[in-house]
């Protein structure tokens, strides 16, 4: 039996070409687990702020036709939604979160705009619209949803009510959630974050970028 010895290196000790090979070989190191779990919890908290009890969330992504996100659950108008959303997702975050401050700011601005639109739709119908959202079809984007919408006002009262307006707003919320997931995935699979994980996990490498 022959015994061979070889030199091992930490990530930052590798030459640049070996660093790039290490990154390419471990492109999925940050996405091998259920990396979306924290985002799902975030979405459900946002849903509570907007009067939505989100049950299940599905998505597919991020580069194929039919990719997207949808959720199931129940919704109604929530009094005090603006205060709740301001507390949880203010238009300007004070800290830098992992997917980037600019992504958070864009997301939060869209969430507040969605809240305003829902309130505008509920106002003329006396805040009496509620409903359920279910999944339909083989895909997982916002269009693959069915709505069972109810209202509580007196039928003798004439109101201007369009079911499609409500559906559109909730589907736009699903698209906003997908946008967040897409940017989180981009962040986790970026060269910088893969390199950071390889450093943090303290791997040993051979000179060609393979984990020893």
Helical H runs in the chain?
16-25, 37-49, 81-88, 101-122, 163-188, 191-200
Q: 76 - beta bridge partners?
A: 130
Question: Distance between CA atoms of 203 and 156, rounded to whole angstroms?
Answer: 72
Per-residue HEC secondary structure of 57-90 comes to EEEECCCCCCCEEEEEEEEECCCCHHHHHHHHCC
Q: What is the reported pTM?
A: 0.89
Q: How many CB atoms lie within 10 A of CB 12?
A: 9
Of 159, 129, 133, 132, the closest CA to residue 144 belongs to 133
- What three-state secondary structure class fits 170? helix
Question: Distance between CA atoms of 72 and 146, rounded to whole angstroms?
Answer: 9
Q: What tens-digit pLDDT sequence spans the chain (212 residues)? A: 777 677 999 999 999 999 999 999 999 999 999 999 999 999 999 999 999 999 999 999 898 888 999 999 999 999 999 999 999 998 765 554 555 566 788 889 999 999 999 999 999 888 999 999 999 988 999 999 999 999 887 665 666 778 899 999 999 999 999 999 999 999 999 999 999 999 999 999 999 999 88
């Amino acid at each position: 039996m022959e015994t061979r010895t070889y030199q091992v290196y930490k990530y930052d000790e590798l030459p640049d070409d070996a660093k790039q090979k290490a990154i390419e070989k471990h492109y999925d190191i940050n996405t091998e687990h259920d990396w979306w779990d924290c985002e799902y919890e975030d979405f459900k908290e946002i849903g509570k702020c907007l009067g939505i009890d989100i049950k299940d969330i599905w998505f597919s992504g991020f580069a194929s036709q039919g990719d997207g996100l949808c959720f199931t659950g129940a919704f109604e108008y929530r009094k005090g939604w603006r205060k709740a959303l301001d507390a949880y997702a203010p238009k300007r975050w004070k800290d830098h979160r992992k997917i980037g401050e600019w992504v958070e700011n864009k997301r939060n601005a869209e969430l507040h705009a969605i809240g305003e639109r829902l309130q505008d739709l509920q106002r003329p119908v006396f805040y009496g619209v509620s409903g359920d959202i279910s999944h339909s079809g083989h895909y997982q984007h916002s269009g693959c949803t069915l709505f069972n919408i109810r209202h509580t006002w007196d039928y003798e009262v004439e109101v201007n009510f369009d079911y499609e307006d409500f559906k559109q707003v909730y589907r736009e919320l699903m698209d906003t959630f997908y946008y967040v997931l897409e940017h989180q995935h981009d962040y986790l699979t970026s060269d910088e974050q893969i390199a950071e994980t390889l450093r943090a996990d303290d791997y040993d490498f051979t000179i060609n970028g393979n984990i020893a």
